[in-house]
Amino acid sequence: AKQHLALTLILAATPSLGIGRAGALPWPQLRKEMAYFRRVTSRVPKSVPTSGGSKRCNAVVMGRKTWDSIPPRFRPLEGRVNVVVTRSPGAFTAKLGAAGGGKEGHGNVQAVSSLHDALSLLQSYHSAPGEASDRTEARPEIGRVFVIGGATMYDAAMALPQTERALLTKIQEEYECDTFFSVDLDRDEGWRRCGKEEVEGWVGEQIEPVEEKGVKFEFQMFERVR
Ligand code: FOL
């Protein structure tokens, strides 16, 4: 079992590091940006071994408000283990059940009460079958673990040394925001911006600056240096 679960933040932000407004994204829907998010969080590197036929997939960890912000038809995010951090995991799970019959109730989402508990849970997926928790359904091999927001989860993750990497989509236009990312990665000496080839190697696809609906954005990656 792997001792150290590396975390990757993924976010999109305006030049002033705005990430949200009124419980939603601040910008008009950017389909190519969202498609990048879906591909990158879904893609499992070849290096993740598959033992005994179980599926390999990544995990996404999010705060409860971020869960609420995802359109119900898209949640839980498919092909990824979803972990929701909430002060009331019991109430969250009960509500999922009450939604009844919909895809939200179809496993693949678990509620925990802290980022630490989310990591313990995902760590347990790495253990030998049967050893991990009391889950009886198929337990996929976990590849990468992404923290997908919001501000509270990003702050908690940034305080952890296992947060080694951040994928930042820099939106080159200002929008009114009420929620911000707290670290300017370009100016923080604890972080280094990676070159294009490094980004492409890690995310597993070629990247180019994009313009959509007159909005330019750029896919960046940063690595913790100390
Ligand atoms: N990171 C980046 N780069 N862009 C984002 O928009 C983003 N959003 C969140 C976290 N990190 C991000 C949190 N908000 C969906 C909706 C909101 C959301 C995250 C994901 C969502 O519905 N995702 C679907 C794709 C939907 C579609 O194709 O339109 C998914 O399957 O990932």
pLDDT value of position 132: 47
Helix (H, G, I), strand (E, B) or coil at 166: strand
User: What's the whole-number mean pLDDT along residues 80-104?
Assistant: 85
Which amino acid residue places its CA nearest to atom 18 of ligand 1?
A: 70
**Res 3 pLDDT > 50:** yes
Ligand 1 contacts CB of residue 82 (under 6 A): no
Average pLDDT along the chain = 90
HSE-CB for 75 with a 13 A CA cutoff: 19
* Buried-state track 188-212, b at ≥16 Cβ within 10 A, e below 16: eeebbebeeeebeebbeeebeeeee
Atom from ligand 1 closest to the CA of residue 167: 3
Say which CATH architecture domain 7-224 belongs to: 3-Layer(aba) Sandwich (3.40)
Atom from ligand 1 closest to the CA of residue 30: 6
Is 26 exposed, middle or buried, given 0-12, 13-18 or 19+ CB atoms closer than 10 A?
buried
User: What's the whole-number mean pLDDT along residues 76-98?
Assistant: 93
Structure tokens at 207: 């990247």
pLDDT band at 49 (very low <50, low <70, confident <90, very high): low
Calculate how far, in angstroms, residue 37's C-alpha sits from the geometric centre of ligand 1: 6
| pLDDT top residue among 177 and 101 | 177
The string of pLDDT tens digits covering residues 102-148 is 666 667 999 999 999 999 999 998 765 554 444 445 678 899 999 99
pLDDT value of position 2: 52
Atom from ligand 1 closest to the CA of residue 36: 3
pLDDT value of position 136: 44
pLDDT value of position 115: 97
Give, rounded to a whole angstrom, the gap between the first and last alpha carbons of the chain.
25
Give the CA distances from residue 137 to residues 15, 45, 103, in Å, rounded to whole numbers and listed in that order.
43, 24, 16
